[in-house]
Amino acid sequence: MTKNLFIKTYGCQMNVYDSQRMADALAPQGYRLVEQPDEADLVVLNTCHIREKASEKVFSELGRLNRIKMNREAEGGTLVIGVGGCVAQAEGAELIRRAPYVDMVFGPQTTHRLPEMVSRATRGTEKNGIIDTDFAAAEKFDELPAPTGTNRSSAFLSIQEGCDKFCTFCVVPYTRGAEFSRPQNDIILEAQTLVDQGVREITLLGQNVNAYRNNGIGLADLLENMSQIDDLKRIRYTTSHPRDMDDALVAAHGTNEKLMPFLHLPVQSGSDTILRAMNRGHGVDRFFDIIDRLRAARPDIAFSSDFIVGFPGETDADFEATLDLIGRIEFAQAYSFKYSPRPGTPAADMNDQVPEPIKNERLAALQDLITQQQKIYNASHIGSHTSILFESAGRNENQYIGRTPYNQSVHVTGDATLLGTVRQVELTISKSHSLEGRLIESAGATI
């Protein structure tokens, strides 16, 4: 009998990956994905704890789900509610206390046990809710089934989980546990399965993906071995920590043709004082040095980053230093956040918390600068010819969307045969977040 599953995903790409794997793991029990929670027999919220706003959203969504559940039960039906991911890990039993209608609470490292939890929950014999927040990363990857039914040309593949770095603002080491890297063979097999299903671009994921190390194999080796998969055209990896950007990886950007010339490398701040207080383990000079070496290896490489404004103790001068850093690097894109104090992290208890209005001002100024840089970056590509991997249909008729090697979205007029292929495109118009282009060849894919 088919049953309906609705999954809502918050947070980072690792959660996106986990949600897909949850759907794969539940398919043998007859669950198929639906678009709306009110059509579902089982709802899973895959949650994020990184900033206060992200975790509070979960509780308002749970309130809505509870109303659906009560209506359903009044009509003699049922709705099973599960909460997974980083809020589940952080809150554990407290989550069930706050929302007693939740049937299952499970952390990011126990998604493989979801089918068993669902069987128990649907039997209706569990009185108090099921809680499973073990750190079982190795077991998770061993037990999750191979990905099924992919119809995308670009896919995520988690290769590394957890974090040992303990930046003073961040909950990830507590919610995802210690660093763990999957064995290379498992990763290559999973990549091959994805490619057999039509995937042409794989983004390797990890909270510290460049800290990947298993059995003496580092990320540069893994990238090299993965690029041997014939029909795989593009490889990316995210998120990287500057501390783990070793020589072999820098060199790979110059030699591995499938490795795309775009790197997301979060720096958070341009002030040494703040970087120290954040426990990032490197200063500004080291960051510039890494960028210089990457540009020497791959002159056309584009960069993206993450920034936090209003970290405790951040002065106007510290913030100016961040703007200076941005001015010097010229990012192709960047994400920026107001510092959000998180329970249990050292920075939450630091003196000199920055008042909200100042955080707002700094965020606006930083985002203005980034938008300006992004516009200049995109505009600099107008008139150039580049390869685009087409991934989805656009909103308008005959409009298709793909990405350049530098991760820019490009809208092109064409037909559905473009999907999943890499084509040569002339970039014609630049907008703030995307570009428009025109197919150069009328027929024949380049792959």
Q: Label each residue of 282-304 as H, E or C.
A: CCHHHHHHHHHHHHHHCCCCEEE
The angle at the Cα of 148, spanning 144 to 154, to the nearest 5 degrees, equals 105
Instruction: State which residue, 29 or 353, has the beta carbon closest to ligand SAH.
Output: 353
Nearest to 34 by CA among 61, 7, 10: 7
Comparison of 51 and 381: residue with beta carbon closer to ligand SAH: 51
Pairwise CA distance, residues 126 & 372, whole Å? 55
Half-sphere exposure of 412 (CA within 13 A, CB side): 32
Residue closer to ligand SF4, measured from CB, 166 or 335: 166
CB of 11 to ligand F3S, least distance (A): 3
* Residue 266 touches ligand F3S, criterion: CB under 6 A: no
Q: How far apart are the first and last CA of the chain?
A: 41
Q: Which is nearer to ligand SF4, 72 or 282 (CB)?
A: 282
Q: Please report, as residue ranges, which positions from 84 to 123 form the binding site for ligand F3S (by CB under 6 A).
A: 85-86
CA distance linking residue 422 with residue 446, whole number of Å: 6
Q: CB–CB of 99/117 below 8 Å?
A: no
Query: Which residues within the stretch 221-250 sit at the binding site for ligand SF4 (CB under 6 A)?
Result: 241
For 299-379, list the strands marked E by DSSP.
302-309, 333-338
Q: Which residues lie near ligand SAH (CB under 6 A)?
A: 50-51, 169-170, 172, 207-208, 239, 241, 266, 268, 306, 308, 337, 339-340, 342
175 near ligand SF4, rule: CB under 6 A: no
Task: Compare residues 108 and 261 and give the one whose CB is closer to ligand SF4.
Answer: 108
The amino acid sitting at 252 is A
Long-range contacts, stretch 273-279, CB < 8 angstroms, 24+ apart: 273/313, 273/318, 274/311, 274/313, 274/314, 274/318, 277/168, 277/311, 277/312, 277/313, 277/347, 277/350, 278/167, 278/168, 278/169, 278/308, 278/311, 278/347, 279/165, 279/166, 279/167, 279/168, 279/346
377 beta partners: none
Question: Is residue 157 a contact point for ligand F3S (CB under 6 A)?
Answer: no
DSSP 94: H
230 burial type by CB count under 10 A (0-12 exposed, 13-18 middle, 19+ buried)? exposed
347 with 169: CB under 8 angstroms? yes
The site string for ligand F3S over 173-192 (x = CB under 6 A, - otherwise) reads --xx----------------
Choose between 163 and 410: whose C-beta lies nearer to ligand SF4. 163
By beta carbon distance, the residue nearest ligand F3S is 11
- Partner that binds at residue 342, options ligand SAH, ligand SF4, ligand F3S, none, CB closer than 5 to 8 Å by kind: ligand SAH
Residue of 383, 394, 395, 385 lying closest to 419 (CA atoms): 394
For position 173 contacting ligand SF4 by CB under 6 A, the verdict is: yes
Distance between CA atoms of 44 and 24, rounded to whole angstroms?
A: 13
Residue (173 or 394) nearer to ligand SF4, CB: 173
- Tell me if 90 contacts ligand SF4 by CB under 6 A: no
Q: Which of residues 56-85 bind ligand F3S (CB under 6 A)?
A: 85
CB of 50 to ligand F3S, least distance (A): 4
- Work out how close the CB of 161 gets to ligand SF4 at its nearest, in angstroms, rounded to a whole number: 11
When CB distances are held under 5 to 8 angstroms depending on the partner's kind, the choice from ligand F3S, ligand SF4, ligand SAH, none that residue 246 binds is none
Contact characters 131-170, ligand SF4, x per CB under 6 A: --------------------------------x-xxx--x
Among 5, 7, 12, 95, binds ligand F3S (CB under 6 A): 12
Select 165 or 362, whichever has its Cβ closest to ligand SF4. 165
Give CA–CA dist 147/145, Å, rounded.
6
**Least separation in angstroms between CB 313 and ligand SAH:** 14
Q: Which residues of 171-195 are buried (b: 16+ CB within 10 A; e: fewer)?
A: bbbbbbbebbbbebeebeebbbbbb
Q: How many residues bind ligand F3S (CB under 6 A)?
A: 14
Answer for the pair 153, 420: CB distance below 8 angstroms, yes or no: yes
Please choose, out of 48-56, 95-103, 235-243, 245-253, the segment that lies near ligand F3S by the rule CB under 6 A.
Answer: 48-56
Residue of 22, 26, 48, 252 that binds ligand F3S (CB under 6 A): 48
Task: Give the one residue of 5, 14, 294, 418 binding ligand F3S; rule: CB under 6 A.
Answer: 14
Contacts with ligand F3S by CB under 6 A lie at 11-12, 14-15, 48-50, 85-86, 171-172, 175-176, 207
